[in-house]
């Protein structure tokens, strides 16, 4: 969820290492640099009171800890390059909303992190509704967000909300995307990408002519409009690359 700041000039520091003794914490936790054999794509899983982040970066740990999007995290370059394995267990029957607080405390303790929140004026895209389109098919029921993928850039989104769509568009465009369509509910729709956006996948000559994501969005009766908006950031001021021993 994109969290927009309600007022400008709000800047306050949080010293994570000084958290209250009453702050929730994991029962047991292992935090260590990822071993060479696990280098590659990271993975994350949660099951009941257990959380597991394998071969992941500190930036990828911060966004579930603070419930923000990846682009809302800033700091030294190593938070996006150094990789770690984090496995932890919370006390039995811990409410789900306590897990992010526990993760914040764990990162502060093991990495000696100091962070602050600040509001920055950032370039964003507003997703706006322009006109009705037969390609944007309204469906009954709750949004689920399934997607059929094809290697040549074809995507068909199934039972997807506009809130889910903007998260995908954010990852593809490199900017925060805000839903300002006013469209509620779930939809089925196609969304084709150019080969550059897919990542240079080998495909037929016809596939290379696919439209950019901006054109594909317009074909749905929508538009990505460039703007600026205040966005709340989590900024890492300091910490250590090597976590303290378990």
> Nearest 5°: CA angle at 36, between 35 and 40?
105
Q: What is the DSSP string of 24-56?
A: ---SEEEEEEPPGGG-SS-EEEEETTEEEEEEE
Which residues sit opposite 212 in a β-bridge?
none
Radius of gyration of the chain (CA): 20
State the average pLDDT over residues 131-158: 86
pLDDT surpassing 50 at residue 15? no
The answer on pLDDT for 146 being more than 70 is yes
Q: What is the helix, strand, coil percentage profile of the chain, to 5?
A: 25, 35, 40
- For the chain, the structural domain boundaries read 11-121+231-238, 131-220
Nearest one of 243, 197, 245, 231 to 74, comparing CA atoms: 231
Strands 146-149, 73-74: parallel, antiparallel or unpaired by DSSP? unpaired
- Please check whether residue 120 is in contact with residue 173, taking contact to mean a CB–CB distance below 8 angstroms: no
**Predicted confidence band of residue 1 (pLDDT cuts 50, 70, 90):** very low
Per-residue confidence (pLDDT) for residue 206, from 0 to 100: 47
pTM flag (> 0.85): no
pLDDT of 193 reads: 74
Q: Which residues of 227-238 are buried (b: 16+ CB within 10 A; e: fewer)?
A: eebbbbbbbbee
CATH number, domain 11-121+231-238: 3.55.50
Higher local confidence (pLDDT), 136 or 39: 136
User: Which of 187, 125, 141 lies closest to 162, judged by CA?
Assistant: 187
Burial class (CB in 10 A: 0-12, 13-18, 19+), 118: middle
């Amino acid at each position: 969820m994109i969290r927009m700041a309600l007022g400008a000039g709000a800047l306050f520091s949080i010293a994570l290492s000084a958290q209250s003794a009453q702050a929730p914490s994991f029962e047991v936790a292992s935090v260590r640099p990822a071993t060479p054999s696990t280098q590659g794509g990271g993975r994350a899983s949660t099951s009941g009171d257990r959380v597991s982040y394998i071969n992941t970066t500190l930036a990828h740990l911060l966004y579930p800890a603070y419930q923000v999007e990846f682009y809302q995290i800033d700091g030294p370059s190593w938070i996006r390059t150094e990789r770690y394995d984090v496995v932890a267990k919370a006390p039995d029957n811990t409410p789900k909303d306590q897990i992010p607080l526990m993760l914040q405390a764990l990162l502060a303790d093991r990495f000696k992190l100091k962070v602050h929140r600040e509001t920055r004026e950032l370039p964003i895209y507003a997703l706006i509704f322009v006109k009705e389109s037969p390609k944007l098919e309204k469906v009954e029921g709750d949004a689920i967000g399934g997607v059929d993928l094809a290697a040549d850039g074809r995507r068909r989104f199934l039972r997807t909300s506009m809130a889910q769509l903007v998260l995908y568009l954010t990852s593809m465009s490199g900017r925060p995307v805000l839903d300002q369509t006013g469209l509620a509910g779930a939809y089925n729709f196609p969304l084709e990408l150019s080969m550059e956006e897919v990542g240079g996948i080998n495909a037929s000559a016809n596939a290379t002519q696919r439209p950019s994501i901006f054109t594909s969005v317009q074909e749905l009766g929508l538009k990505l409009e460039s703007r600026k908006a205040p966005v709340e950031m989590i900024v890492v001021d300091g910490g250590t690359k090597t976590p303290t021993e378990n």
